[in-house]
Amino acid sequence: MFRTQHIQIKTDAQIDKMRAAGLVVGQTLEKLRAAVAPGVSTADLDAIAEESIRSAGAIPSFKGYHGFPASICASVNDQVVHGIPAGAQVLRDGDLISIDCGAILDGWHGDAAITVGVGPSVDPKYVEMAKVCEDAMWAGFAAARIDGRLSDISHAVERVVRAGGDYGIVTGYGGHGIGTEMHQDPHVLNYGRPGRGPKLVRGMALAVEPMITMGAPDTDELEDGWTVVTRDGSWASHTEHTFVLTDDGPWVLTAVDGGRSRLGDAVTSREPVSPDTRDW
Ligand code: MG
Ligand code: MG
């Protein structure tokens, strides 16, 4: 491991450790996706997450992070990110929830988030927003190439969001380098012109996380010191994965299938398909 321009570059062995951490996060988020339902509280989801992470021998990285009290961020409806799980926050049919989850395994981090509709009555416009947000994230990975530039990712994210509809792109928060800490250099914007910023190199690991809204992009932080909400009350979506750039392209470490279903087989050619990972 060495650092260039404050960016931590990972060796193959370290990447394999990040994959193990990423799978804990990916597996946990799939359990949470399945658990989301009307009547379930965000504290219930947090308990499921902590149990899933600890039973895998990992540590919930969010818990205690600058004093954050839980293992997930649960952000409902007009909450964008960093919502604190609570027993009193019971999900209702028609809600939209973003769940962000991180884990540390053997000293290495994974970080990912999903946005999920609650119950059968979610307005299709919110389902569509969540899809656009997720598609934008995947476009960001697809744009990441060795010898490309960091803002190629940002540009690809923005392009898909703009093509998808009249959404606000939240600019106060974004993606980040990740490795032996959850948040490392560089910051990854969700908008911008291509061809700028640090050169993308083999072994660079980044979390890409678009946040978009049905209205304006402006946000406020609530008095709890964490929860970020839209200023205009419009609902928001947030999607995130951690990936590493390999000779074969981006390997999406927090996706259970490594990104194969979205990016093709080449990206996970380093990884044998074992029953362990396939069943997650
Ligand atoms: Mg996250
Ligand atoms: Mg993140």
Percentage of residues in the chain having pLDDT higher than 90? 91
Label residue 173 by pLDDT band (50, 70, 90): very high
User: Over 50: is that where the pLDDT of 50 sits?
Assistant: yes
> Helices 124-142 and 150-164 sit at what angle, rounded to 10 degrees?
150
Confidence of residue 275 (pLDDT cuts 50, 70, 90): very low
Q: How far is the CA of 177 from the centre of ligand 2 (A)?
A: 9
* Top-confidence residue, 6 or 135: 135
State the average pLDDT over residues 265-277.
Answer: 56
User: Which of the ligands is closest to the CA of residue 75?
Assistant: 1
The residues, ordered by sequence, that sit 6+ positions from 161 with a Cβ below 8 Å of its Cβ are 132, 133, 136, 167, 169, 190, 210, 212
Average pLDDT over residues 99-127: 98
Which ligand is nearest the CA of 175, by number? Answer: 2
What value does the mean pLDDT of the chain take?
Answer: 94
Q: How far is the CA of 25 from the centre of ligand 2 (A)?
A: 12
- 201-229: per-residue pLDDT in tens? 999 999 999 999 999 999 999 999 999 99
6: pLDDT confidence band, cut at 50, 70 and 90?
confident
pLDDT for res 264: 84
Higher pLDDT, 275 or 101: 101
| Residue pointed to by tokens 């339902």 | 37
**Which comes out higher in pLDDT, residue 268 or 114?**
114
Ligand of minimum distance to the alpha carbon of 207: 2
pLDDT higher at 22 or 267: 22
Residue 124 CB neighbours (<10 A): 8
pLDDT for residue 267: 64
Closest CA to 58 of 7, 94, 102: 102
The pLDDT score that the predictor gives to residue 26 is 98
- Ligand 1 centre to CA of 66 (Å) is 14
User: What distance in Å separates the CA atoms of residue 110 and residue 94, rounded to the nearest whole number?
Assistant: 29
Q: Is 278's pLDDT higher than 90?
A: no
Asked if residue 3 has pLDDT above 70, the reply is no
Within a 13 Å sphere around the CA of 280, how many CA atoms are in the beta-carbon half? 23
Give the pLDDT confidence score for residue 269 in this predicted structure: 59
Position 103 pLDDT exceeds 50: yes
Q: In 3-state terms, what secondary structure has residue 6?
A: coil
